[in-house]
Amino acid sequence: MNEPRTALADTVIVGGGVAALWTANVLKNAGQSVVVLTNSPLGAGQSLAAQGVIHGGLKYAVGGKLTDSSEELADMPERWLAAMRGEGPVDLRGADLLCDHQLMWSLPNVISKTVGFFGSKAVRGRSGSVPREDYPPIFDTAEYKGKLFRIDEPVVDPVSIIRELAKGVADETWLVDWNQNAALKVDGENISAIQLTQPDGSNVRLEAGQFLLAAGAGNGELLSQIGITEPSMQRRPLHQLIVRKKGLPNLYSVCVGTGPKPPMVTTTHHDSEGRTVWYIGGDIAEQAGVARSEAEQIEAGKAIFAKLLPWVDLEGADWFTWRGDRAEPHTGTGDRPPGAYLKRVGNVLIAWPTKLALAPNLADQVLRDTEGGDSVETIQFDLPRPDLGAAPWDLP
Ligand SMILES: Cc1cc2nc3c(=O)[nH]c(=O)nc-3n(C[C@H](O)[C@H](O)[C@H](O)COP(=O)(O)OP(=O)(O)OC[C@H]3O[C@@H](n4cnc5c(N)ncnc54)[C@H](O)[C@@H]3O)c2cc1C
């Protein structure tokens, strides 16, 4: 058997979601040679299941003060909008902005809390109350007794985001199967190489200055293969609701209730046949929702709409659900950690953005922690390329 060819990259990135692809674009544009290895269609996992809300932290601050989470997030809407204008290291000009703001609507019993929050200095300039004459049709009814606020947090289309990010590193991205054609070579807590086997049986030993694990829920297994025990990974499950009906109006909104989490966060999308989809997360998709069967979750969804927005006609709508996990570093409290997470162990960088919105923040951290490369060489393998994954409503 011939000696394997050795290929050397500045950074090898394992993963294929927003974390891997955003960071790969940033490193490539900083002059590094990168290789991206994914084991599934791009964005499969969390990124294509995201609602696409580019949080600036206001949702997390409704309790009254801006928290760690909200400070980390504050710059993100402008970072994403700049990328969508083609300014900056990541070019998202071809991606779709679904809406440049969200509406925050309150239930009648929480109006004073909401009005107090939106009047506070902390949020001035990032939100405002919506005058009654500007209410969109869905709230423009005497039956709606709450108030409406506009928050300047855009909503993007995750499918188009992943598609555009993938274009920027298409030549650097490969599909691998760890049971067939890829093997991690470990030396202590370092990765010494990834051995890639090509269809003709020849091997390539892929070495790198550093290996970035940005594989979402896949990081857990990769860390245990390398023998890294700290950080460890937590999963926080969600059970999202999907309502599909022709002609549903646009609704990009956060409902404010009495609890710390919004009862419902709704975004509007279109499936591959052009039908309108409301995608619903928030408290309804968290623990109690996760414990429900799909049928029970749909009943809970119908009940909350009947209670909060009874005038909305959902007769004849298709209802279904999507289950999945958010993957993050273990916090010990079961909560989401503040900010994007990055930790170096030897030549391994372990990353979880913890939010789609925080991908730019994660890439900044990786770039700061990286020796500048000056290689523009694209490394070639005889391996397949990954396809783009699908949104939850377009999955088979
Ligand atoms: C229902 C839901 C709604 C959300 N809504 C929002 C929102 O509105 N706004 C927001 O900011 N955030 C949101 N999030 C969070 C956000 O989606 C995630 O934080 C983000 O997408 C994580 O990106 P990632 O690249 O780390 O992981 P993923 O998107 O899960 O990608 C990981 C990728 O790595 C690849 N992979 C896995 N294992 C391996 C392996 N062993 N080898 C090679 N490749 C591997 C897979 O192909 C996968 O595509 C939401 C999350 C969920 C679940």
pLDDT at 125 (0 to 100): 61
Domain contains 264? yes
Of the listed ranges 166-180, 250-264, 366-380, the least confidently predicted one is 366-380
Same domain, 66 and 121: no
Q: Ligand 1 centre and the CA of 44: distance in Å? A: 7
Mean pLDDT of 135-147: 92
Same domain, 125 and 199: no
Domain contains 121? yes
CATH of the domain at 126: 3.30.9
Q: Which residue minimizes the CA distance to atom 51 of ligand 1?
A: 50
Q: How confident is the model at residue 106 (pLDDT cuts 50, 70, 90)?
A: confident
Same domain, 291 and 189: no
Mean pLDDT of the chain: 91
Domain contains 370? yes
Q: 307-333 pLDDT, tens per residue?
A: 999 999 999 999 999 999 999 999 888
Closest ligand 1 atom to residue 14 Cα is 43
Domain contains 393? no
| Range 293-299, long-range pairs (CB < 8 A, 24+ positions) | 294/320, 294/321, 297/239, 297/241, 297/321, 298/241
Same domain, 159 and 133: no
Angstrom distance (rounded) from CA 263 to CA 283: 5
176: how many CB neighbours lie within 10 A of its CB? 21
Same domain, 130 and 83: no
Closest ligand 1 atom to residue 265 Cα is 8
Domain contains 88? yes
Q: Of 327, 346, 370, which residue sits at a domain end?
A: 327
Residue type, 94: G
Is the pLDDT assigned to residue 230 strictly greater than 70? yes
Distances (CA, A) of 364 to 159, 188, 256, 288, 370: 23, 28, 32, 36, 10
Q: Ligand 1 centre and the CA of 210: distance in Å? A: 21
Q: Ligand 1 centre and the CA of 162: distance in Å? A: 11
Angstrom distance (rounded) from CA 277 to CA 255: 18
Same domain, 293 and 347: no
Is the pLDDT assigned to residue 122 strictly greater than 70? no
Q: How confident is the model at residue 241 (pLDDT cuts 50, 70, 90)?
A: very high
pLDDT at 60 (0 to 100): 57
Q: 160-202 pLDDT, tens per residue?
A: 999 999 999 999 999 999 999 999 999 999 999 999 999 999 9
Q: How confident is the model at residue 59 (pLDDT cuts 50, 70, 90)?
A: low
Is the pLDDT assigned to residue 114 strictly greater than 80? no
Q: Which residue minimizes the CA distance to atom 47 of ligand 1?
A: 40
Q: Ligand 1 centre and the CA of 9: distance in Å? A: 24
Same domain, 321 and 368: no
Q: Ligand 1 centre and the CA of 282: distance in Å? A: 17
Domain residue limits at 168 = 1-98+155-232+330-382
Q: Ligand 1 centre and the CA of 280: distance in Å? A: 17
Mean pLDDT of 116-131: 69
CATH of the domain at 348: 3.50.50.60
Same domain, 225 and 311: no
Closest ligand 1 atom to residue 325 Cα is 53
Same domain, 27 and 92: yes
pLDDT at 4 (0 to 100): 87
- When divided into structural domains, the chain yields a total of 2
Same domain, 301 and 228: no
Structural contact between residues 326 and 46, judged by C-beta atoms closer than 8 angstroms = yes
Q: 20-38 pLDDT, tens per residue?
A: 999 999 999 999 999 999 9
Is the pLDDT assigned to residue 286 strictly greater than 80? yes
Q: Ligand 1 centre and the CA of 95: distance in Å? A: 18
Structural contact between residues 309 and 138, judged by C-beta atoms closer than 8 angstroms = yes
Domain contains 342? yes
pLDDT at 64 (0 to 100): 47
Domain contains 72? yes
Closest ligand 1 atom to residue 354 Cα is 19
Same domain, 4 and 65: yes
Which of 355, 361, 365 has most ligand 1 atoms within 8 Å of its beta carbon, as the pocket-test mutant?
355
Find residue 184's DSSP bridge partners: 194
pTM of the model: 0.95
Distances (CA, A) of 184 to 27, 177, 179, 207, 223: 22, 11, 11, 11, 11
| List of E strands, 107-264 | 127-129, 148-151, 155-156, 173-175, 182-187, 190-197, 203-213, 233-244, 253-256
Q: How confident is the model at residue 374 (pLDDT cuts 50, 70, 90)?
A: low
The set of protein residues with a Cβ atom below 6 angstroms from ligand 1 is 14-20, 37-40, 43-47, 49-53, 55, 178, 214-218, 222, 238, 240, 281, 324, 326, 352-357
Q: Of 304, 327, 350, which residue sits at a domain end?
A: 327
Give the DSSP letter of residue 388.
B
Q: 327-352 pLDDT, tens per residue?
A: 999 988 877 787 899 999 999 999 99
Angstrom distance (rounded) from CA 52 to CA 46: 11
Q: How confident is the model at residue 120 (pLDDT cuts 50, 70, 90)?
A: low
Same domain, 64 and 162: yes
Domain contains 394? no
